[in-house]
Amino acid sequence: MRKPQATSHATQLRREFLGAAMLGAGAWSLAGRGLEPREASAAEKPDDGAIDAHVHVWTPELDRYPLAPGYVKDRMAVPSFTPEELFAHARPCGVGRIVLIQMSYYGFDNSYMLAMMRKHRGTFSGVAVIDREAEPRRTMLELARQGVRGFRIRPRDRTPDRWLEGEGMAAMWKCGAEEGLAMCPLIDPECLPAVDRACEKSPDTPVVVDHFARIGADGVIRKADLDKLCRLARHKNTHVKVSAFYALGKKQAPYLDLGPMIRRILDAFGPERLMWASDGPFQVLRGHTYRDSIELIRTRLDFLTQTDREWLLRKTAERVFFSGGAPRSASALIR
């Protein structure tokens, strides 16, 4: 198998992931901003077409939806990325449904994401962010009642080998296993062994690793990092988001340098456990486009079969984030 191509961008070590959301808005332009979403065609109704498994939305209505401590308006990536702005990019590309990921600007307050899920019922699923130390099971079930199907987890100030330790995190993984709610790690490659151990302890918990575990964020796609990620394939409920192309490898459309990495994880996980995602709005900043992201999977990688594309572009995300009703315990939770 061909080795992934590599390029050196060491000065940008994971900048797109770790710093992009806090850069000044003046440096970037948002392709398609201000466009009114056109009416979806028959091929783009919510139940049809592709699913984008990872998009962040936020609003300029800061009085109604305040920012979390530590975030300020003039340091947001762009002033807003509302569903209407998102649809201007997604609908012309045949994307009918989208998984919203709680934006870090709001901390543990998932109100805006939930409001947009209610407003566009059937179009959005959701991945929330919660406090692992504050009754996580109860919070997870409350959010599951409102359509949330996953929970973003990250190391923050914890070490790579111990970031998943603690009673709160154990409770989250247990609830995920019992209720079919996914753990969605936003991590770097050095944190993957801890995920491997957690999957061994809780094999029934769905896991969806964001953005290839950010392999290649420094411009170099290392075999050792891919080995760590592909080791997770032995756990039947693990999945990987094929996403954030703007921030990995050469960071240049048409992103063909990512092909060997995608082929490696395809061989390891199979298409049924991979899902495409844009990571909007960051995929449409700095001259990158939404269409270039989806077209890498839809047309540009010749080793993908039509069946592969169907799984990556719709069926895997549909199964993980859109199938079924509320978890069985959620209906009895609220008194």
Show pLDDT as tens, one digit a residue, over the chain (335 residues): 433 333 333 333 343 354 443 343 333 333 333 333 333 333 334 456 999 999 999 999 999 999 999 999 988 999 999 999 999 999 999 999 999 999 999 999 999 999 999 999 999 999 999 999 999 999 999 999 999 999 999 999 999 999 999 999 999 999 999 999 999 999 999 999 999 999 999 999 999 999 999 999 999 999 999 999 999 999 999 999 999 999 999 999 999 999 999 999 999 999 999 999 999 999 999 999 999 999 999 999 999 999 999 999 999 999 999 986 666 565 444 43
Which residue blocks in 49-99 are alpha helix, DSSP H? 83-90
pLDDT the model gives residue 329 = 64
pLDDT the model gives residue 68 = 96
Tell me how far apart the alpha carbons of residues 271 and 287 are, in angstroms, rounded to a whole number: 29
Helix, strand, or coil here: 320? helix
Indicate the residue type of 128.
Answer: A
pTM for the model stands at: 0.86
Tell me how far apart the alpha carbons of residues 53 and 59 are, in angstroms, rounded to a whole number: 20
- Tokens coding 181: 């709610």
Distance, C-alpha 84 to centroid of its chain: 19
Tell me how far apart the alpha carbons of residues 140 and 175 are, in angstroms, rounded to a whole number: 8
Q: Most distant CA pair in the chain: distance in Å?
A: 57
pLDDT the model gives residue 326 = 60
Give the number of other Cβ atoms within 10 Å of residue 244's Cβ.
24
pLDDT the model gives residue 330 = 53
Torsion sign (Cα): 44, 46, 52, 55 = positive
Q: Among candidates 213, 136, 141, which has minimal Cα distance to 170?
A: 136
Contact predicate 206/182, CB 8 Å: yes
User: 10-324 is classed in which CATH architecture?
Assistant: Alpha-Beta Barrel (3.20)
- Tokens coding 128: 């929330």
pLDDT the model gives residue 325 = 60
Contact predicate 257/250, CB 8 Å: yes
The residues, ordered by sequence, that sit 6+ positions from 117 with a Cβ below 8 Å of its Cβ are 100, 124, 125, 126, 146, 147
Which residue blocks in 19-150 are alpha helix, DSSP H? 83-90, 111-119, 136-144
